[in-house]
């Protein structure tokens, strides 16, 4: 019979990498609350993309910033942003809800690329 270590034992059980518990603890998805503020924001964003097309001015601005520099990274970033929004527009129901948080992360990362390119244009290569 497998004996589990007690939680009162001294040491780093659950935190040290030698124990599987450390991996399980990191991988556990019990800490985020699904209906918390980030999920509500994601659902609001999904509604604005699918019903109000509020993403279009954002994509236009990103296109302007990313195409100005005409680099492979800029073109790839713009393509990624467009594909992300397209996936959200086509998805429905639970699948759309599951995609939305990752989509927001992708859109935030892409906008950071565009902003850094714009800073490089205005303030020099340090930001490139």
DSSP string, 81-105: HHHHHHHHHH--HHHHHHHHHHHHH
Query: What does the block give as tokens for 127?
Result: 């930001």
As a whole number, the mean pLDDT across the chain is 78
Residue corresponding to tokens 């999904």: 46
Q: How many CB atoms lie within 10 A of CB 102?
A: 13
Helix residue spans in the chain (DSSP H): 20-27, 37-47, 55-69, 72-90, 93-123
Q: What is the structure's pLDDT at 83? A: 94
Q: Is the pLDDT of residue 4 over 80?
A: no
Question: Residue 97 pLDDT > 80, yes or no?
Answer: yes
Contact 7, 15 (CB under 8 A): no
Q: From CA 36, how far away is CA 40, in angstroms rounded?
A: 6
Residue 110's CB is within 10 A of a number of other CB atoms, namely 23
Separation between Cα atoms, residue 40 and residue 34, nearest integer Å: 9
Indicate the domain borders of the chain: 35-127
The residue behind tokens 């699918």 is 50
pLDDT top residue among 54 and 76: 76
- Work out the average pLDDT over 8-26: 58
CB-based burial of residue 125 (10 Å sphere; 0-12 exposed, 13-18 middle, 19+ buried)? exposed
């Amino acid at each position: 019979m497998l004996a589990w270590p007690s939680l009162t034992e001294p040491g780093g059980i659950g935190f040290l990498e030698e124990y599987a518990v450390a991996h399980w603890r990191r991988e556990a998805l019990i800490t985020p609350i699904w209906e918390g503020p980030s999920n509500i924001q994601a659902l609001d964003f999904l509604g604005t993309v699918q019903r109000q097309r509020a993403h279009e001015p954002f994509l236009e601005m990103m296109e302007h910033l990313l195409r100005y520099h005409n680099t492979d990274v800029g073109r790839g970033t713009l393509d990624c942003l467009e594909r992300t929004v397209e996936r959200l527009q086509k998805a429905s129901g639970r699948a759309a809800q599951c995609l939305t948080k990752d989509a927001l992360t992708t859109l935030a990362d892409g906008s950071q690329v565009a902003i850094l390119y714009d800073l490089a244009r205005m303030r020099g290569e340090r930001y490139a």
